Every structure is written in C-alpha cells, then in structure tokens.
Amino acid sequence: MTTIPVALGDRSYDVVIEAGLLARAAEYLAPLARGRPLAIVTDENVRPHLATLQAALDAASVASEAIVLPPGEATKSWGQLEALTDRLLALGVERNDHVIALGGGVIGDLVGFACAILKRGCRFVQVPTTLLAQVDSSVGGKTAINSRAGKNLIGAFHQPVLVLIDPDTLDTLPARQVRAGYAEVVKYGLIDDPDFFAWCETNGAKLLAGDAEARAYAIAHSVAAKARIVAEDERETSGKRALLNLGHTFGHALEAEAGFSDKLLHGEAVAAGMALAFGYSAAQGFAAPEDAAKVAHHLAASGLPIDIASAGISTPGQTLTAHMLHDKKMEGGALPFLLARGIGQTYLDRQVDLASIAAFLDSTRVAA
C-alpha cells in the first residue's frame, strides 16, 4: 500500500493506492459514514466496481445509496448537475456527510462540483476508476461541468477529503482509454522529471499490457508529482500548476475541432499536443530536435497520436489558432504557452505569437 499526502493546510488529504483496495474500502469509509448512509455516484460502465464497493460496505454494515448516471462527457452538464443535486438533497445529504465519486474524470468533476455547491459545500471522496482519473483528475480539487461556450468553464476548486485508488479497476477499462490516460503519465516526465520519462520509455509497454507492478509504480509516481505541484500552487496563481497543462493548448484546440467527441479522447489530444509543443520548441531552436523526436517516438510507440493528421484539417494553422483564441487561459489577449528546453524542462512562455504557432502547424501538415 502506498499513501501519498496532499499537503494543503486544513484541506490536506491522503491518496491511498493499493491493488484490491475497493474490496477493503469500508475500512476507510465506515469512519466517514459515522452510521449514516453513504451516497455513491457512478456511471453505467462502472457497475461491476460499484457492486464490489457496495458488497464491502454491506459487509461492514455501512448503508449506501447508488446514483448511476449515463456515461460520457455529456454528463458534465447543467441538467445532470441539477438532477444530481436534487437526488443528493432528497437523500438528505448534510454538509458533514461524504459523497463518494466512483468513476472516471467525468464523474469526479461533476460530483466534485455538486459537492462544492450542495449546502454551500459538503465533503466528498474520490474513487477514480480510469487511469486518467487515477493519475490526474482525482487529485488537486479542480471540479467542473461544461457549458455551451466550452469545456470546464463552470466550476470550483473543491478538494476531496480522501482519494482511494484501486489499480485493479483498470482491468475492465478499454485499452484505448488506458492509452489515453497514459499520455498524462508521460506528461509528468516531460514536465520536470527526465528520469521518469526514461522509466516510461522502458516500462510503458508493460504498463499498457496490464502489468500490475508497472501500473502501481506509474500511478504512485504520477500522484506524488501532482500532489507536489498542487501543494505549491493550489489555485494556479504562481504559474507552477500551469505546468500541468503541457500539451493542453494544442490538445484543446484539436479536441474542439473534433467536437469533444470520441473521435479524439482527451488523453489522445494531449499526446498530440505534447508532441506538437516539443516540435514547436525544437523548430524555434529552444529544444534539441533529438528530444522532440524522442517524445514523438515514445508516444507513437504507445499507440497515441502525435500530430494533427488525425484531425484531417486542410488549414490547421488558421483553424486551430481560431480555437486557441477561445481558450480559458487567455490573459489580456495573449495565450501563455507551455514550451520545453528539453525533456523534463517545461516552462511557461507568455510571449508566444499565435501567428508563429499557425505557421508551425501548417508546416507540420506539409511534412506529414
């Protein structure tokens, strides 16, 4: 078992990682339930894990009520938020009660936001069941729903009181979803940890094949990296937390172009975005071309997209920078970009000219 503390003063909490943890979750949840029923929110695809969790709670005489939502990004909506808060209120959830978010980033983000506003804030526990949620979205307290104007535009910072990660839940996750989550794992190496990137190069294939040891190591290492960054900059004010957005500006533009559909999963867009960020950094002479090539090679070898080819756009420069103008990170008309001086040397550049990004994107299309 690995326990990683997230040090945030009176909002501190632990992330507990252990294979088979779901079946032992009552040990952690019974004290939080304090004799009252626990509400568990999940989605249809996570039902097998809901059954494991509820059986564990039953065995410990902890009553639970499941709320099962439809799967998919569309669930992060005003409509589902309203329906969920109504259900939680009808169940009599109080501010000191704990709601359990069992699922991927969609469930974690929606439930976290519902708990941020329910009775001006109730407690919640993240039990992430996708690799992306285990290494990224369940830790750090960002919660959100989508609006007509874009993704994650309505939300709050609201930290969970506990995160329980059972890597065995990934056994039922489709391989494509595992690969997409793996892009965020590689991200931690690229940000500031070249040794971890080297670990990924050696062990990534094993992890993707379901090797339990590689999986547990990567999850713990990623959570520790995220916990360290979040503890330094909880609300993304100093620029440190912004490093977690490596590949995300290019990625969001690609996702927007794909209509935030299953054509391109978030992690896939991030993989292409990281390869593009390194490609652009190399093209500008900031990073060595060999580093950009190594990044692209490892992501491609992991079955992830590394360019804009999959987006099938005839004028990528114009099309993608038009999406970037709507990025929520725009500051006074400029868009801060994460660039790299090398592997493990990511930095925030506030001077990037979108016209040079457009020219670079057009050049990658010609080369492709």
Question: Which residues contact ligand NAD (rule: CB under 6 A)?
Answer: 43, 45-46, 49, 71-73, 76, 103-107, 109, 129-130, 132-133, 136-137, 140, 142, 151-152, 169, 172-173, 177, 266
Token reading at 169: 């839940």
Selecting among 179, 245, 255, 257, the annotated active-site residue is 245
Catalytic residue among 73, 266, 268, 298: 266
Quick one: 35 or 259, whose CB is closer to ligand NAD?
A: 259
142 annotated active-site: yes
Find the shortest distance in angstroms from Cβ 227 to ligand NAD: 13
Given CA atoms 90, 91, 97, 102 in this order, what sign does their dihedral have? negative
Tell me the closest approach of the beta carbon of residue 284 to ligand NAD, in angstroms. Answer: 27
Whether 232 is catalytic is: no
Known catalytic residue: 65? no
Active site residue 49: no
To the nearest whole angstrom, how small is the minimum distance from the Cβ of residue 50 to ligand NAD? 10
Candidate list 49, 98, 142, 215, residue with the active-site label: 142
d(Cα 51, Cα 73) in Å, to the nearest integer? 23
Active site residue 201: no
Which of 98/252 has CB closer to ligand NAD? 252
Active site residue 266: yes
Closer to ligand NAD by Cβ: residue 142 or 215: 142
Nearer to ligand NAD, 41 or 107 (CB): 107
Annotated catalytic, 236? yes
* Residue number, 41 or 358, with CB nearest to ligand NAD: 41
The distance of closest approach from Cβ of residue 185 to ligand NAD in the complex, given in angstroms and rounded to an integer, is: 12
- Catalytic residue, chosen from 241, 255, 268, 298, is 241
Hey, what are 174's tokens?
Answer: 């489709």
Q: How far is the CB of 103 from ligand NAD (least distance, A)?
A: 5
Told to judge if 241 belongs to the known catalytic residues of this protein, a careful annotator would answer yes
Residues acting as catalytic residues: 120, 142, 184, 226, 236, 241, 245, 248, 252, 266
